Amino acid sequence: MLAKQTQSRTLHWLGRQLFNRDDPAAFFDPLLERINPMWVQEYTPARVEQIIQETPDTKTLVLKPSRRWAGFRAGQHVNICVDVGGIRRNRTFSLSSSPILWQEQGRVTLTIKRLPGGRVTNWIHDALQTGTVIGMGEAFGDFLVPEPAQPVLFIAGGSGITPVLSQLETMAAIDYRAPVTLLYFVRTGDDVIAREKLQALSARYSALTLNIIATHETEEHRYLCDEDLDAIPGIKARQAFLCGPTGLMDLARNLLHQRGIADTDIHSTFFSVPQADLGNEALGGQVRFSGSKLDIGSEGDATLLDIAEAAGLSPRHGCRMGICHQCSCRKTAGTVVNRLTGQTSGPGEENIQICISVPKGPVSIDI
């Protein structure tokens, strides 16, 4: 046993020294990619089998990952990596299908909205074709169906419906018996994502109450209000799941609090970084990337990930929102401010997430 462990450590060291890779087998990836992209070792390859146009700015990708992928639970996220203009880009999206589709057919879906100015989402909408192989990470996240079954309220806005679709499909499949209500807010009727799937779910799943609300189809815009929540039976006993634009989620959380629903019963996920109020603190400073022997000056609230990429470095990262922890690294000196919480770190060594950490004075990190 000891000999095998020693051999494994030796191979790992050789791989790092000779190939600059954590996985020595991935050294052969450029060759394997030419022979069969599904044999690549550095990430889990997934072939695009179908692309479905959901709305004018939203598409669903039907993917078939390699069987070595570990699967997922309804409501979780996954990081994908794609080559855009010769540069590998990583982004995080919610899985929109039920895990049962993966278990029975080896397929999953990602439902992706085009973001104005978004490098990856625009490439997916304009250039991605069926047959292309992209990279996938393992699933993560705790936006999960309650166990055991409890009454649930979903409040979703726009593309925030994607993890909810996964949850609802799963609930229907397992005959989740507790009452389930979905309030789904869209700008217009043309912006409803997966309309046919939602209608089919509503027809066959008797526990589900579906309410789709178009906010911009009247002269006075219609948003979540007291009447929406007052119409939900037993709302105080519900587990609330929020996913959508920050404004909708903040409004929903406030209205739920007014009804005596505690934060422990409110679950949320997001697709952009919610920022804490950092006040008038002087942020920025000299950043020492000790592993790369680079010193870079910064000003304002740019994150360490932004600063590293501007300096030409390519640190490991995934979601860019403080969810997946793939960007975690060692801070060896200095102070940073967390953009999510507004909290200031200590001055000594600690692990930080560079995608949400802003330097406050000189900082040294092990990149």
Residue 16 lies inside a defined structural domain of this protein: yes
Q: Quick one: 118 and 184 in the same domain?
A: no
Are residues 198 and 258 both part of a single domain? Answer: yes
Please tell me whether residues 186 and 289 are part of one structural domain.
no
Q: Are residues 37 and 53 in the same domain?
A: no
Q: In this predicted model, what pLDDT tens digit does every residue of 263-317 receive, in sequence order?
A: 999 999 865 555 556 666 678 889 999 888 888 888 888 888 888 888 888 888 7
Residue 367 to residue 365: CA distance in whole angstroms: 6
Residues 256 and 318 in one domain: no
* Spatial contact of 222 and 248, defined as CB atoms under 8 Å apart: no
Within a domain: 277: no
Q: 274 in a domain, yes or no? A: no
Distance CA 285, CA 302 (A): 10
In a domain, 275, yes or no: no
Q: Look at residue 61 and give its three-state secondary structure.
A: strand
Structural domain count, the chain: 4
22 and 75 part of one domain: no
Mean pLDDT (whole number) for 60-77:
94
Are 128 and 174 contained in the same domain?
A: no
More confident residue, 90 or 38: 90
25: left (phi over 0), alpha (psi -120 to 50) or beta: alpha
88 belongs to a structural domain: yes
35 shares its domain with 57: no
Distance CA 278, CA 303 (A): 13
- Mean pLDDT, residues 317-339: 83
Q: Are residues 156 and 264 in the same domain?
A: yes
**Cα(367)–Cα(361) distance, rounded to whole angstroms?**
18
Task: Note whether residue 159 is domain-resident.
Answer: yes
Q: What is the CATH number of the domain that holds 345?
A: 3.10.20.30
Same domain, 87 and 126: yes
The 10s digit of each residue's pLDDT in 135-179 is 998 898 899 999 999 999 999 999 999 999 999 999 999 999 999
CATH number for the domain that contains residue 243 = 3.40.50.80
Q: Give CA–CA dist 301/296, Å, rounded.
A: 14
pLDDT category, 112, cuts 50, 70, 90?
A: very high
> What domain range includes position 224?
152-269
Flag whether 276 is in a domain.
Answer: no
Asked if residue 158 and residue 251 are part of one domain, the reply reads yes
* Domain end residue (candidates: 141, 174, 207): 141
- Say which CATH number the domain at 99 has: 2.40.30.10
The verdict on 87 and 68 lying in the same domain is: yes
